[in-house]
Amino acid sequence: MPFVCADIDLHALAEQIRVFSTQIENSKVATALKADADRLEMPSSNPREQIYIIEDILQKLDNYKKKEGALDLRVGCIRAETYFQEIPYELLRQKVREYLLEQYPDAEIEFSYKEEGKRLGDCAHVSLSGRPEITYHAKTHSRGLYSSTESESSYYEAEAVDLRELFVYKFLQYSGLGPEVHFAWYNERDFYIITKDVGCTESGEVEKYDYGTVKSSQNLLGVSLGAKYTELEPSQESLVNQVVRESFVLIDIISRIFELEDVITNYGNFFFITDSSGNISSFKVVDFEILNRRTTFAETLFRGFLLGTGPYRYIGFSDPISRYFIVDRDVDARKETAQEVFLPLVETFTRAIERSFQNILSLQTEIPTLDVEPLKEYHQEIQDNMSAFVKNLQTP
């Protein structure tokens, strides 16, 4: 696998450690340092292991700070440690830059660290002469590398990409409910998801707001419950912005059909978009989690929707406004809204599902090691879930 940074000479660092070990009176420590030097140079050592080796060396050096060469050796070890920590980011940046330059050959591309989320990722800023800057959010897949060696053991232990995740991203794009999404990869493990920022359009940026921002603005939401936001009364529901009301219902249905979680309950995972007049016009789902295992079946999905229950952590969900529309609202009213907002989109969703399925299935021709059987099973589950919702909503 190619790597753009190659300014760390491990052999020279290992020799420096061996020379330093000859100055140590404690033979046990000296022998351990020599062993560390040998391990650093082993071809089988991966970056995670090399970080642990360097951390072990630095710990040993704490007892020999006044020894000649100790400071230089510490500096060399810290530089090497930083280098290994940056490898996953550099790999991502290299592949994303390569992909985006294929789309924008004359662009200048700069990166900045993403501020939130546990997955390793970056923001890519595409600058083109005479055109507004375009921002893309690039990250590893859900089974990929995490952003911290301290909290996640999988920092250098990525698994093969979950094709269901890619399928959902493409469905959201094709149905108009999510951002434009692209994929780039070295292999089935080092695989990156690149989404265009939902605030970026060809004509410039549009205003986007996460739900936390919308909730704090009476002008955007349409209603204010006061400082504590304790409860929404049925008499107030018509005061809530219509797009917001319908969005909660539609996101809930999509979450159930596609077996998703961490959408409505995570304000950073969906955004509202405003039109030129400053009114909320649509929403976009930008992130989600897929349930690890199927916890319900198609025939029970609709019942869960009506009751506001299921594997979506809605029980005990404290936000009064979204909770009202997905849990506490009158059942008949919730069903009526679902009929109004979901049924007209069934044909669009069905086409998006099939288009997305074929799109992701075709990746196997480029990455032959991909296992597509779980994707095929998931595709069938989604078809069953869609049919169950349509059938129940069309039943008087």
Between 2 and 377, the more confident residue is: 377
Residue ranges of alpha helices (H) inside the chain are: 10-21, 27-40, 47-61, 70-103, 163-175, 211-215, 218-221, 242-257, 298-307, 320-323, 331-341, 346-361, 373-394
Instruction: State which of 55-64, 319-328, 350-359 shows the largest mean pLDDT.
Output: 350-359
- The whole model's pTM is what? 0.83
SS3 assignment, position 342: coil
Question: Are 52 and 115 within one domain?
Answer: no
Instruction: State which of 8-22, 138-152, 168-182, 226-240 shows the largest mean pLDDT.
Output: 168-182
Between 159 and 45, the more confident residue is: 159
Residue ranges of alpha helices (H) inside 107-216 are: 163-175, 211-215
Q: Which amino acid is at 342?
A: F
Q: Is pLDDT of 218 > 80?
A: no
The proportion of the chain whose per-residue pLDDT surpasses 70, expressed as a percent, equals: 89
Please give the pLDDT value at position 204.
67
Q: Is pLDDT of 315 > 70?
A: no
Residue 252 has φ and ψ, to the nearest 5°, of -65, -45
The DSSP H or E segment spanning 112 is strand 108-113
Please give the pLDDT value at position 294.
63
Q: What is the CATH number of the domain that holds 177?
A: 3.30.200
Question: Are 214 and 319 within one domain?
Answer: yes
Task: Give residue 110's domain range.
Answer: 88-196
Domain boundary among 42, 70, 86: 86
Domain boundary among 161, 196, 231: 196
Q: Can you list the pairs that 24-31 forms with residues at least 24 positions away whose Cβ atoms lie under 8 Å? A: 24/64, 24/67, 29/60, 29/63
Instruction: State which of 15-24, 52-61, 192-201, 348-357 shows the largest mean pLDDT.
Output: 348-357
Question: Are 263 and 185 within one domain?
Answer: no
pLDDT one-digit tens code per residue, 79-120: 888 888 778 888 899 999 999 999 999 999 999 977 666 778
Q: Is pLDDT of 329 > 60?
A: yes
pLDDT one-digit tens code per residue, 260-300: 988 988 888 999 999 888 889 999 999 999 987 665 677 78
Question: Are 132 and 26 within one domain?
Answer: no
Number of domains in the chain: 3
CA 349 to chain centre: 23
Of 41-55, 141-155, 323-337, 344-358, least confident by mean pLDDT is: 141-155
Work out the angle between the directed axes of helices 10-21 and 27-40 (0-180°, nearest 10): 170
Domain boundary among 86, 117, 140: 86
Please give the pLDDT value at position 307.
83
